[in-house]
Every structure is written in structure tokens, then in C-alpha cells.
Structure 1
Amino acid sequence: MKCEAEQTQGLQMEEPQEISSTEGGCVGDIVIEKFLIESKKSTPHVQLACSMQHSAFPLDGNELCIWNTEDPSQQLLALRGHHQPISAVAFGNTATPRLICSASPDRVIMWSLDECREKVLEGLIPRGTVLGTLLGKVLYLRFSPDDRVIAVCAGNKILVVDTESQSTLVELEGHQGPVTAAEFCTWRAHVVISVSEDRSFKVWDHRVGSLIYNSPVLAASPLLSLLVVEGSKQLVTGCAEGQLWIFSLVDRHHYRCVTRVDLRKKRESFSTRRLDSNPGSLPEESRLPSAHELAKGDDVEVTLPVLGLAHCELSLGLASECGLLSSENTSCLWVGSSAGLLILNLANFELEAVLHYKNFRNLSIQVAGSCALRSKTSDGKAFCLLTSMFGNGIAGLKVDPTALLRCQQRPTLGTRLSVLPSSRVLPTSPLHFGVVESSAQPARHRQPAARSVVKDQPLVFHSKVRSSGYTSAPHATMFSPKTNIKNDCKRSSERKNSYKWKESPVQNSPPTRLSRWLAVADGRAAVRCVQFSGDGRQLACGSANHLALVFGADLTGTPAVFPGHDGPVNTVCWSHDGRWLLSVSQDGTLRVWSVRRTELALCLGKDLLPKPVQSAQFYYIDTFILLSSGPEVQLLTYHIDTCKDEIRRYKPKSRGRAVVRLPMTGAVEVTSLSAVNDFYSYLVLTAGRNRTLEAFDLNVGRSAAVITEAHSRPVHQICQNKGSSFMTQPSQLYNLFATTAVGDGIRLWDLRTLRCERRFEGHSNRCYPCGIAFSPCGRYVACGAEDRHAYVYEMGSSTFCHRLSGHTDTVTGVAFSPSASQLATATLDGKLHLFVTE
């Protein structure tokens, strides 16, 4: 069945005009209104269409209008063939032939744009092909990637129509409400996904007409929009209340929810970040309205219904410079709403820019009813097609996302922070106390740190001392003291020097196969922390039964036990040379143990620290001990005396002394700290009870940067990408660090930008503080979870790549071996597990 069409003459179109803005210095280079058409009938809730070169929309109800976005001089093409109002329009995906489909309650028509143009130039009437009649109200149309079939969403059904034979191949039924959108999966041609007013989405195999997956009800309002992101294999859907849900389409993930985004809260947070980062510099009219202000206005919607979704290509962040993160890390999303356009970063799920219609004077449409977006045109700009919610206007906008981002980006720091220092230690620096000369070389280029500028030596420097009365032998032997202390020290030195550095190849895949497990203690005492030594030969853990233990890396043999704490051990940390083990317990004390002798070498408690120690580690290649006590970060020098006098062994000669105390901004309790000990670095990262992150520069002895609202809850662990002596990483990667908070996933940060570059969500972590760890190659982040699994995320994706089973309780801690492809995990029921590469 064929349908006639004719060209409409004399349509009134306004000339393209630049739109002035209230965005304080941002002018019309951000958005240009290319055209404005007044229709005889209002079309507030109609599917519009944008392609690389064209945009399509209904005019006067039943006319299909095609406008060339690349060549506005071409005459507007209006096609007639529908007798009832058009409700949906969609472009095909192939360049030849360029197809477009339109639908109304009376018929669904497919047009070939090239043939229609030729017919018009020849003075003939173009014809379209009718694919179906009397299907009811069609809310959405979508071509398959190869344009061979088209999904027609009519009522509660999805009709899959063959574009060549014009026949319906299958009807997909199952939704309890009208189907509002459908998308084909580009990497699985037989899969189509649909969303509906019943507030759920379904995954279908349209070749056989079967249902693959049926989601639960997601929201309290209808789902309106849908987008399949091929790069990250994710599904994004939005509802009428301004909520976005992101699901993983990876086969083994079973359509799990990656995250949920509240656009209203994100917009409020975005506005707050802009003001906090540059207070007083933004004019009043450029400030985005707050939620309270929006609630007071009757003419502005608060919920931001998601009317349209499209890809947005932007280059964001500095992490991609390293080549470690894939191009996916800069993937962004256009979100079209009734109040404006938003750019959402799909890596960290934060807003990068907001274009509010009311902030631009003379913009014809202030509240949109329908929205269609094209992410990129020939000039690199985005095209947006809008219909008015309360009027009959239809407008086409050219938006420059780069200019919009530049206008709203946060001001950069005067000096970028870096883990690798760019200058020598200052004479006034606290670090100058224990440093002769600094070096900023990570990984293999390392030099041992000097203990102090003034070397501890005996009072008399001669190896032999001759003095009257002291050279003759005693008449009787009272006791036989140990005389091998010097030899023991010599053996320790020889043992350390005999180790030869050997670089391991970068891991192709992380450890995923469970190789061995063992129970650490009786009575199900939880293992709270775990860490490999720097050479990867030993594994230390702290347990809830007040013990610190050291195992061989393969978890075989009898472990070395370090008793003495009066509470659960929360932290264990190896020294750089592997001779000492530091432990922190809930009893508020810090203890340093001799690993070789299995005995206590140093204990710091209330006599030195007024408040209990929360976390501690060796710092500056074992030159200092860095710890947090209450709201302070303290840098301590320490001296460990390994040569004890047998007569006065009860008097410990090991000691520690505070060099500097640095209080956190706001005087809040420090919940976690991290610093590099494998090479010289001036920066110390801390987290506070008020959910802030703060970086201290110990070269100048003060705070260098503060990140507010880093998580929705206090951070319980900061983990830096410290690399390994056995693998080489680009120097930029040492500026990456991760934080985790209970119930708020993992966030990856870049010190150079002080922004969250990526979020890792999906693992269960609602109650217990589970640990995280970087792989030595820097490509993976591992974490524990409450669902008795450990998760491994690849740095270039927010979706986990491996889910490690075999645990019988909550996974409390994880640790990668620096020298082998091994991953150790600890559980709440007191077990250690060792995973190796397949």
C-alpha cells in the first residue's frame, strides 16, 4: 500500500540567532537557535528525531517535516501521508539509503529521504511505504542497527516489522502499560530492550519472540527514555521524576544495577561545587537555582523529567593521558529535560555542565515537552530539537558542549599537586629532619633513606678501646651473655642485600582462581586487615583476637605470631626493608615488631599520644612513622635499638618523638590516612569524619587541598596507586588514589584535578567497612563485599570484570602481591584465601 505526499510551501521560519546568556560572560557561542517554527497544533509529547544531517518533527499534526541541519539553505521538506496526528518519528542508522519512519494511529510510514528529494526536484509527489495500519497510538519507533527491522511501540506491545517485506515478524507482549521506548542491542543483533509506563524494563529476543529478562519496578513514575551505551555495555533509562538508572548488559552480570542518579540532587551538588570552588566570582544571575528556590517557584519544575538521552563526546580528566584508562573514561551523556540540558559523566556519574533554558535570554522555548538530541554534527557541536510544553513552538538549537563546559568548569589550582615531588626538601620542612637528599624516582629507581642527618654512633668512634685496667680478663665468669648480636645484624644485612630486583611482566588478567585457604584463628575471630611485604614473600594480617600474624606468601607453614595488643588489630603495615611490622589496635596503641626475632621493638601509647591511634604507617622510606590521633596527623621520628643490654633488657631504648602535628580542617576526627613509603613523596592524604578529604604537603608543613563531600558517608580507607618494585608504571598513574565508604562504593580520584574520575559500584557494602587494593600493574582495583565475594574492577570500566567466590562470610580485606599474580582476601569468619591467575 502506497501513500502520496506533497511539499508544503511558505512555512515561516525565523532566522538563526545567537542567544544571549545570563551566565556571566558566557555569550552566544554556547547555544544558537537555528530555527523556530509555529505549528497549528501543539505537540508536547511526541518522539522527535535527529540524525547527523537532518532533524524531523511533526507539523500541524499530520505533516512530517525534514530540516537539513548541515545545509539550512535547503528548502524545508514537508511530507504528507498521515490522516491523524503523528506521534513518533525515527531515522534509520545506515547512510544509504537514508530512511525515516513516522507513525500515527492510522498508519506507520517509511520514507526514503533521497528518493523524496529527487521526486520534489522533478516536480513529482514523493511516496512512502506503509508498514502497518490501525495499530493505535504509537509512542516510539526504532530501527535496528542494519535497518532491516523496525520496532514499533504501540500500546502495551512491541511489533517487530521487516522493512523489506513490510510484514510483522513478531509481537512482543508482556508490559502492563504503554511502551514508551525501545532500543536494539548493537553487539547482540537479536536483542531488543523496552521500557514502559509500568516502570520496568524488559529484554527480548525478537527473533524467537521470547522474554529474556524482566526487571522489577524501578520507580514511582513512568520510565520515559532509554539508551544503550555500547562502549561500557550499559543500559541507561530515565523516568518522569528525574531519576536515572544504569544497568550492566555484560552477559555474566545478569542485568545488575550499577547505580541510580537523582538529577535534582546532582544539579544542586553541581551548583554548590561551582560556588565553593570560586566563591564570590560568579554573578548572582549565573548561579543555578537551588532546590529550595525551585520549590518556591510555581513555573519551574523540580523533578527534571528525562525526555531524551544521547551520547556526548567530550575529553574530560587527566587520567586518560596515561593510556591506562580506556576512552570510556571520558564517555558522557546528554540528558534532555523539560527545564534544560545536562551533561552527565558516565565514569563518575557526576554532572559536568548544566544548560538551563531560563538562563538564556530570548530563547523561544523555556519549558520543553519533547526533546531529541544528536551528540555530534560535522562542526563538533550538538543539535537539540525541542517542542514547547505549553505552546506550539518547535525549535532547533546548536549547542557547543566544549564552550558550555569551559564556561562552567571549576577553576584550576594554581599549582597542581603531585605524588612525585618536583623540588628538593626545604630547609624549614619537617622532612628535613631525617633526609640528606631526596629523590623522586618510584619503582626500580630507589635509594635507601638515611635515618637522620646526625648518625647514631657510640661515644668513642674507635673500633678498639685500650684503657688501663680494662684489658685483662675477669677472674670469674658470672654469666655468658649473647655475643652474636653483631653477627645477627650482619646476617640480616646480607639477607637483604642478596635479594635481586627482577621486573615482572604486566598482568594480562587478575588472579581469579582460588588456590588455597586456611583458618587463621579458632572461634571465628575476624581477620580485619591483610598486606603483602614489599618483596611479596610474606603476608601479614591482623585479627580480632588481638594478634598480628605473618605467613609465607603461599599460606603454607607455621605463621609467626605477634601477641601483645589488648584489642582487635585494625592495621598492619610493612616497612620498606621488610624488617619491621607495624600494627595498630583498637586499644589505641601503635606497636612495631621485629619480624626476624618475632618480638616487640617499639610501643607508642598514651604516654606520647593523648588520643588513641586510629591508623599509622611507615613513611618516607622508613624514615618516619605517620599516624592519626584524634583530629591530628602526626609525623614521628623513631629509633629502634636492636642491641639490648642483657642486664637492663627491661629498660627499652627504642623511642619515638613527634616532629610535627597537623590538624584537619574543621578539627574533625581522622578516619584514614595514606602516604607513599616506597619512594620519596611529600603528600599525605587524609579523610575526616565530616566526609572530607584533605591533602597535606609535608615539605611546607601545611594543608594543600580540601575536597568536601567526597562520599555520602565518612571514608574508612584511602588507597593510593603505589605501584611495585617489580612492575613499571607511567609516572602520572601515581597520582591516582581510591577511597571507599560504607554504602557509597569506591571512587577513583586524580590528585592533579582533585576530582572523582570514576566510580566503582555494584558490590554489596552496606554495613561493614570492607577493604580495597590496587594491583601492582595499576590496571585493577579489588574490594571486599558483604555478599561473600571479592570483586575486581578494571580501571577503564565502572562495571566489575571478576567476581571471586569461595568465601563463607563477608570479605573484610584484600591485598595484591607486588611480585606475583596473587590476591589475598580476608573474611569475617577468620579465614585467609589466596587467588592466583588461571
Structure 2
Amino acid sequence: MMIEKMRLKSDRALSLQQLACCGSHCCMPVHGKDLMVYDHLDRQKEPLLLTGHHRDVSAMTFGHGNILLLCSASADYIVVWDIELCKQKVQQGKVADGIIIGKLLGEVVHLSFCYADERVAVCSGATIYILSSKQQQVILTLTGYLGALTSAEFCPWDPDILVSTSEDRMFRVWDLQNEDVLYQSFVLSAFPLSTALFLEDRHLITGSVDGQMWCFSLNDCYQCHLVMTMDLQMMEKRHQRTVNQQGGVNQTESDEVVSKPVLRMASWSQIPDLSADKKSWFCIGSSDGLYVVDVATSELQTVLYFKDHPDLSVSRAGSWVISLRHDKMFFLVSSLFSPIVALLELRVCDDLGRMWTSAEGLSVFPSSPPLLQSPLNAELKKKESNLPKKKGGIKEQPLVFNSKVKSSGYSSAPRKVLFSPKTNVQKNPPTKKSPKKFDLIHKDYPADSAAPTVLCVDRHITDKKVSCLQYSG
């Protein structure tokens, strides 16, 4: 069950903007140019106000290290903030400031730290800038896309590998050390929005705006091999059908087509106290809720819809930020149509654990015995063995020699009439054979013929529906 911990209101819609959230803090822009950092573990503390941008802030992200770093970007500056150092300066009555690592790089749509927090990937237009997080330095520039970039993520196990996605419906795997493209994907069905990299299995999953997901395996040469494709809408229909069958509910499927973009993905492999069979699970933030998918089976495990939680401030999401802290997951979700941002909390092992336990241990006992005409009362007739009976063979007898042997016709007189034909035989009319109605059943259906479409026999057996058929041929 998702709990809303904070409800933040902005002066403008933030549905298409990258926000920032980690296990202890969350950040959003205020008044366009300023940043407000909230400590959601201790909500009694005053939020930290960061100023310094001269243009509207368009993207922000937190680092991964013990020293909490925040990177924010606008059309004029790319700034890295040390949160604890900024808090100390504010307590001393000073103005909190950061380190400018880039200037005039254009409209930035996405930022990401490497896992050592030494470099920052900046997506602006169709260009990726790799910047140093400690000083103003452009380490390298990556170009070659035909459309605007949507994301760029560093590889968890190799800091020199970067995966980027673009609106030209392709993603690329970059070798930052040699400034070369290791892999370029085929053209996807829609442009990808998010990418998740799994550390244990070395899997790369990318999700697009039309709800399609592609799972690739990465070898040592970082050549991607397609493992499976997943459709979020089709998985939802299969999951709903399974839930209805378990609950005994006959619900017709709706033909309504609803867009389910893959806005954000995150792996569960780093959650402690999680069983081994759930290490391959990952969550997907879409416009109508949170989806939990098992990569091993490519099946949907559970869905947490916004409509099932009427106390939430967000009914349709425009952007997601997912972060982990021990056994908790925090989601910073912006509303699609209103200037509202909500911080949601989910206890994975407690809340979802109850749902999995109740689903796995569900047993249904009948309240009454089955009807007499129920197919459950039918007994299978035992087939009699058609083995041929053993015929009596020649038994072993003692050998006897006779002194006289009777001839077989040599001593009798020869026959005078050998053959006498019958000339007055009346021919009987041929008997008509009754047509076999079920002769087609005993023959193999020809392989070169099309599937049968014409109804031959229609028998009315009972007023109730037939639940079981058995062929006795």
C-alpha cells in the first residue's frame, strides 16, 4: 500500500521535468530558478533553499555516494551542490552556493551521476556532455543522434560504459574511454524514455512511450542480445484475467486502449531481506500506477493503481523518480495535469509481502457436493487389454515309428469327373451398405487441407453447458 508522506505544490506544472529524490531527501524547483530540498526522514526540519540559477531549472538529480551531492541544470549553468555543506552555511547565516561545472550547454533534459559521483552525464538536444563533478571541465562530447536525447545512464559495474536513449527510437552503448559506440540498437516501436541496468544478471531493459519493453543481455564485449520483449498492456490483461479466475469473478475485458508509457524503471536486486526468487523483479512507474514485473518469467506480479488509493494527491503521473532505502521505496511523482508533486512511500517486505503471502496461500473449499450431472462425477472407464489369447501349440510328444503307413490317395480309384460347373445360379442383388456417419473420425485429417469451417453435426444433449468431452474411439 502506497502512503503519501508529502504533498508539494508548485507554481507551474512539472509533468515533463526531471525531479530528484534519494533515500533521505527530495528536491523540486520553485519560482522557476530556485531549488527547494526537503528532508523527508525528518519533516520537522526546514527545507533548504538553493539559489544561483539565472534561468529556469529544467533537470536535477542526486548522487550515489555517502556525501550527498545534488546536480541541477538550466540553460545557463550546470551546478553541483553539497547538501550538508549548504546546510551548515545556512545555519551560519551565509548563502549556500555550489560548484559550476558547465555553462551555456543549452536546454538540459536529463542528468545522471556515475556511481562514484566523479562524472555527470548531461543530455542537451542531440548531444551528451560528460562533465567533471568537481570543476568546470568538459571531459568529452558524444554526438550522432538524429533526434533529441531522453536519458543517459552510467553502467553500475563499469564507469566507462554509458547507455543513452533518444527520440530517433534507438539506444546506444558508449565506450567513454575510447569515445566509441559499442552497440547501436535496431529501430524500436516508439522512442525510449527510461533505461534500467541490472548489476547481478547484466541485463539492460529499456522502456518506450507506448508501453513496450526490451530486455537485452550484455556480454563482456557489451554486445546486446535480445532476450525478451514485454508489452505492459498485454501483461496487465493477463494479470487481471488471472486475478479474476482466482477470485471467481467473470469480468469482461474492456476494449479501451489506454496509453501506458514506461516513465521510470528500478531494480529490486539491492533490497535486503528479499528472497532469491524476487531478486529478478523490477518496478515500472507509469501514468496510472506502479507495476511490478518479474524478468525471469516476463509476467506482471502486482499493480498498485492510483485509483485504488483515493487519498493520494496524484491520479495521473507525468514523471517518476524511484529511490531505495533499506526495505523502503520512495517515489517522487508529479501530476500530469496539475502543479502538484507527491512523495510516496512503500514498504516492500511488509506491504507487498502480505499481498504475496495471501495470494500464495489462498485455498478454496466447496460448500456443497457437485451435482449428479457434473463432469466431476464422471469416472474414466478402464481400458480392457486387447492382447491376443495364446493358442494351444503342439505339445511335446514322444517320437513313434509305425511299420505301416496309409497312403493319401494312391490306393484309391481315380475320379472320373473332376469339375461340374453350376449353370442355374441366381444372382442376388448387392446389399447397400449403410453410410458411416463417423467415418471421418477414424481417419487422419489431410495435412494439405485447410482447417474445417463447415458445421457437420449439431447435437442437443442437455440444457446446461457442456464442460467436458471424451472421445472413446
Note if 1:309 corresponds to 2:265: yes
Match of 1:227 in 2: 196
Pick the structure with more strand per residue: 1
* Residue of 32, 39, 48 corresponding to 1:68: 39
What SS is found at the alignment partner of 2:224?
coil
* Residue of 361, 367, 377 corresponding to 2:325: 377
Residues 360 and 146 of structure 1: CA distance in aligned 2, closer, same or farther (over 3 Å): same
Note if 1:155 corresponds to 2:117: no
What SS is found at the alignment partner of 2:307?
helix
Match of 1:445 in 2: none
Note if 1:240 corresponds to 2:209: yes
Report the Cα offset of residue 329 of structure 1.
5.9
Match of 1:183 in 2: 153
Q: Is this contact kept in 2: 1:161–1:169, CA < 8 A?
A: yes
Letter in 1 for 2:288: A
User: Percent identical across equivalent pairs?
Assistant: 31
Match of 2:142 in 1: 172
Match of 1:360 in 2: 309
Note if 1:218 corresponds to 2:188: yes
Within 1, Cα distance between the matches of 2:146 and 2:62?
28
* Residue of 255, 272, 277 corresponding to 2:224: 255
- Residue ranges of structure 1 left out of the alignment (5+ in a row): 1-29, 282-286, 296-301, 322-326, 416-428, 434-451, 453-457, 460-468, 477-608, 614-663, 670-838
Within 2, Cα distance between the matches of 1:371 and 1:105?
23
RMSD over aligned Cα, in angstroms? 3.6
Instruction: Please tell me whether Structure 1 or Structure 2 has the larger radius of gyration of its CA atoms.
Output: 2
Residues 139 and 392 of structure 1: CA distance in aligned 2, closer, same or farther (over 3 Å): same
The size of the alignment, in residue pairs, is 394
Q: Is this contact kept in 1: 2:268–2:279, CA < 8 A?
A: no
Letter in 1 for 2:19: L
* Residue of 24, 30, 34 corresponding to 1:53: 24
Letter in 2 for 1:78: L
Report the Cα offset of residue 405 of structure 1.
6.1
Residues 612 and 93 of structure 1: CA distance in aligned 2, closer, same or farther (over 3 Å): same
Report the Cα offset of residue 431 of structure 1.
13
Match of 1:391 in 2: 338
Q: Is this contact kept in 2: 1:232–1:328, CA < 8 A?
A: no
Residues 347 and 122 of structure 1: CA distance in aligned 2, closer, same or farther (over 3 Å): same
Alignment of 1:692-771 (within 5 A): none
Report the Cα offset of residue 312 of structure 1.
2.8
What SS is found at the alignment partner of 2:177?
coil
Measured against aligned partners, the alpha-carbon deviations of 1:297-354 in whole angstroms (never above 9, x if no partner) come to: xxxxx11111111123599xxxx99xxxxx4763211111111111111111111111
Q: Is this contact kept in 2: 1:66–1:76, CA < 8 A?
A: yes
* Residue of 283, 291, 294 corresponding to 1:345: 294
Q: Is this contact kept in 1: 2:182–2:222, CA < 8 A?
A: no
Within 1, Cα distance between the matches of 2:249 and 2:219?
46
Residues 63 and 431 of structure 1: CA distance in aligned 2, closer, same or farther (over 3 Å): farther
What SS is found at the alignment partner of 1:124?
coil
Within 2, Cα distance between the matches of 1:171 and 1:386?
31
Letter in 2 for 1:191: I
Letter in 2 for 1:46: Q
Alignment of 1:262-281 (within 5 A): 262-280=231-249
What SS is found at the alignment partner of 1:141?
strand
Letter in 2 for 1:51: C
What SS is found at the alignment partner of 1:365?
coil
What SS is found at the alignment partner of 2:27?
strand
Within 1, Cα distance between the matches of 2:355 and 2:218?
35
Residues 612 and 124 of structure 1: CA distance in aligned 2, closer, same or farther (over 3 Å): same
Report the Cα offset of residue 412 of structure 1.
4.1
Match of 2:177 in 1: 207
What SS is found at the alignment partner of 1:359?
coil
Within 2, Cα distance between the matches of 1:393 and 1:314?
30
Q: Is this contact kept in 2: 1:278–1:411, CA < 8 A?
A: no
What SS is found at the alignment partner of 2:57?
coil
Note if 1:41 corresponds to 2:5: no
Q: Is this contact kept in 2: 1:329–1:347, CA < 8 A?
A: no
Within 1, Cα distance between the matches of 2:222 and 2:12?
46
What SS is found at the alignment partner of 1:87?
strand
Letter in 1 for 2:322: L
Report the Cα offset of residue 123 of structure 1.
2.2
Alignment of 1:588-599 (within 5 A): none
Within 2, Cα distance between the matches of 1:314 and 1:206?
26
Note if 1:140 corresponds to 2:89: no
Within 2, Cα distance between the matches of 1:256 and 1:430?
49
Within 2, Cα distance between the matches of 1:158 and 1:474?
109
What SS is found at the alignment partner of 1:382?
strand
Residues 370 and 470 of structure 1: CA distance in aligned 2, closer, same or farther (over 3 Å): closer
Report the Cα offset of residue 668 of structure 1.
9.6
Report the Cα offset of residue 393 of structure 1.
0.6
Letter in 2 for 1:363: L
Letter in 1 for 2:163: I
- Residue ranges of structure 2 left out of the alignment (5+ in a row): 365-378, 403-440, 446-465
Report the Cα offset of residue 275 of structure 1.
0.2
Residues 202 and 69 of structure 1: CA distance in aligned 2, closer, same or farther (over 3 Å): same
Report the Cα offset of residue 65 of structure 1.
2.1
